[in-house]
Structures are given as structure tokens and as C-alpha cells.
Amino acid sequence: MRKLYDALQRFRPHFEEGGRLQSLKPVYDATESFFFAPLAVTVETPHLRDALDLKRFMAVVVVGLLPCLAAALHFFGLRLLAMIFVSYAVGGTIEVLFAVVRKEEINEGFLVTGLIFPLTLPPSLPLWIVAVGIAIGVILGKELFGGTGRNPFNPALVGRCFLAIGYPAAMAGNWLKPGSGTLGRLAQYVDSSSINAISSATPLSAAKQGVFASLPDLFWGNVAGSAGETSAIAILVGGIILVVTRVASWRTVAGVLLSFALLNAVLHRVNPGAFAPVVWNLCAGGLLFGAFFMATDPVTSPFSNGGKWAYGIIIGAVTLLIRSLTGYVEGVMFAILLGNIAAPLLDEAAVRIRLRRLRDEI
């Protein structure tokens, strides 16, 4: 530890002003502050500060994603690690390039985007498509708008949306059948070339043909689908960590799930053919993953409490309608992006109401 610190300090002069590697200062700073907490102290009131910083904030999201990651590795094998590596490598490089050109610091938000993105993809997607997706997601979804904190859309979903439209065959054609048994596919590496023999339909596409996966399979995640979305229990465990730690807003999650469940309950009575039973529909597809991990991104969701409820309701309702009434088998991605579009408007309305109340305050 001491040696690492000393080594970092030895290289520091090269990155300072006048050094040979001055332009790579953001990279040096990010590396140093990753390993060693900064020395910065308060200079004005309040002299005390909360221990939470953005690194910890994002680290909590990563911890919340770990159960999903473990489930995904179990059901779909080691190839997921390769996808995560590509995602971090390509996305991280782009992040660094933008930081160097802008002479800004590298933000921690990418720790989450880089992990969440592969978890939303089919587990057998060719790695080059993963690279294209994350590149588009980071550039179009985040950096063009000014980087972390200023992006209107969830970068991982922008990347996924691009792939869904640009490479429909790769994205929706073959879904890897989950491994069974104690080890599952933990010791296997299944890539796009060998998938044809072991593909299967996702629960939602099978349901369109009238075949419903069993509820325990959906609950544990023993079904085909995007890498991180299949296991309801893993998502719930991770999601509850996020809500309890206050990193994700419970209002958004509750808005999504309640609106989806209520609307589904009503419409299932009206038209049981098009609308699946509530509990089954809640556990199938990417709804839970989207509700806990994607919709709750604080930057792209509304900041007002009222806005969060409305945003959640929009996402839940639109997901159900796309899923059940359109040609698409899944609608979470479009619903959240639609929610992202609506977020500023919802906030505007909530702020107006709030300011009208505040106007007459003394």
C-alpha cells in the first residue's frame, strides 16, 4: 500500500504542468483517487461533511448489481465476463478521451454504466456489437450533453436502443438457454457461434404463442433472456439494497411496479388473452431490472417527488401497453427512454406548483 502510494507520487511530476504527460492528468488523478481517498479538507462552513461521495454512491449501485451478475454468470456462463470487459474497456476509453480533451476529471458514473450495459444484453451477443453499443451509449447518451450529471437519457439504454434498432437479428434472434443443475453454465463459455444448438425463446415471446414459463423458473431466473434480467430474486435483493441505502428512490420503483400491477390487474380481467396474469408479468422480462436499476438513475429521472411518482407511473403503464398490445415482446427500454423524455416536463410542472406555494411564503 505504502509502496503503491510512493510509486504514484514518483510519477506525479510527469503529469503536472510542464510534465511530458500533462495532457493525461485526468487519468492520473482518477487512478490516484481510486486507490487513495483525497486529502481535501473543508475550507468554509459547514466544517463537517457527510462521508458519502459519488464514488461510494456508484459503488453501492455496483454492489446492488452483484446478485444479478452472480445469477447471470450461473445461468449464462463466463462469456458475460468478456462482455463486461469489452464494455468497461471501450466505454472507459471514450470517457477518458472526453475527459482529456475537455481537461475535466473522470467521473465515477461510468463504473455503473459499464456494468449495467452488458447485463441488459442477450448473453450471446457478439463482442464487437457490445463495443459498438457502449460506444454509442456513452457518446450519444452522455458525453455529447456534457457528461455525468447533464445527460437527459440513460446512457446504457441509449446504447441498447441503438443495438435493438440497428442489429435486430443479433439482439432478438437467439436467446441462450439457461444452464441447469447446481453449477449451471458457471464453467462454460458459450459464444454466438455455438448458440444455435442451445437457444430458447424468452418467456415473453413464448407467452405470445400461449406458452407460459413456470413462475418458480421466472423467480429464480431459470429462463432465457437478457443476462441480468432473468432472476427476479437476485434483482429484488440488489434492488432492496439500493432503496434501503437511499441511493435509488423508492418512489420511482413503487410508481413503476404499482402502476404496472394495477393496470395489468384491470386489463387482465378485461382481456386475459392479451394481458398475462399480474405476478407472472411482473417477474417476466426486464421490468424488475428496469424498475430498480435503470429508472432510478437520479440524473435522468425527475428530482421532484411528485415527478418521480408520475415518471414511475408512465414507465409502468407504457411497459405494459407495449408488451401486450404491440409487435414488440418487451417494452421496458422504450418506456424508460420515454420516461426520460418526460422527466424535465414533469419536473417543470412540479417546480411550478412548488414555487407557487413558496411565492407567498414569508
Partner 1 sequence: MRLRGGYNIAVTGRPSREVEVLPEPDVLYLPLRSRRFAFTELCVKDGQRVRSGAVIATDPKNFGVPLLAPREGTIRLDASEGHVVIEGARPAAEQQYDPDTEIPHVPKDPGEADRKRRQLLALGAWEFFSDAHTGTLPDPFGTPRAVIVSTLQLEPFQSRGDVQIRERLAEFTRGLEHIQSLLERRDAPVGRLRRATGTSLHQPIHLVVPRVNSRLAAELQERLRGYAWVNIVQVPLRYPFDNFRLLARYLKLKPNPEEPVWAVRTGGVLAVDRALTRHLPCTVRLVSLGGPGVMDPKHLKAMPGYPIDRILDGRLKDGTVRVLNGGGLTDAVLPPGQLGLDVECSGLTVLPEHTEREFLGFMRPGFDRVSYSRAFMSCVLPIALRHSTALRGELRPCVSCGYCEEVCPAGIMPHLIHKYLYRDGLEEAEAARVDLCVGCGLCSFVCPSKIELCRQMLDAQQRISRELHAQEEEDS
Query: Which residues are at the interface with partner 1 (CB under 8 A)?
Result: 1, 5, 33-42, 44-57, 59-60, 105, 107-109, 147-150, 244-247, 249, 298-299, 303, 351, 354-355, 358-359, 361-362
CB 126 → partner 1: shortest distance, Å? 33
- Peptide bond connecting 298 to the previous residue in cis, omega within 30 degrees of 0: no
Cβ atoms of residues 300 and 153 within 8 Å? yes
174/172 Cα distance (integer angstroms): 6
Report how far apart, in Å, the C-alpha atoms of 15 and of each of 4, 97, 145, 169, 345 are.
17, 16, 28, 46, 43
Q: Exposed (0-12), middle (13-18) or buried (19+): which is 152, by Cβ within 10 Å?
A: middle
CB 300 → partner 1: shortest distance, Å? 9
CB 301 → partner 1: shortest distance, Å? 8
Of 145 and 328, CB closest to partner 1: 145
Report how far apart, in Å, the C-alpha atoms of 69 and of each of 115, 180, 229 are.
9, 17, 10
Of 244 and 341, CB closest to partner 1: 244
309/285 Cα distance (integer angstroms): 22
Residues belonging to the chain: 362
CB 274 → partner 1: shortest distance, Å? 37
Residue 176 has phi, psi (to 5 degrees) of -65, 135
Q: Where are the alpha helices (DSSP H) in 142-231?
A: 155-166, 168-172, 203-208, 215-220
CB 342 → partner 1: shortest distance, Å? 15
Cell of 65: 448489481
CB 354 → partner 1: shortest distance, Å? 7
Of 337 and 350, CB closest to partner 1: 350
Of 45 and 193, CB closest to partner 1: 45
CB 232 → partner 1: shortest distance, Å? 24
Of 163 and 299, CB closest to partner 1: 299
Of 40 and 165, CB closest to partner 1: 40
Of 268 and 308, CB closest to partner 1: 308
Cell of 7: 510509486
Residue 40 has phi, psi (to 5 degrees) of -60, 140
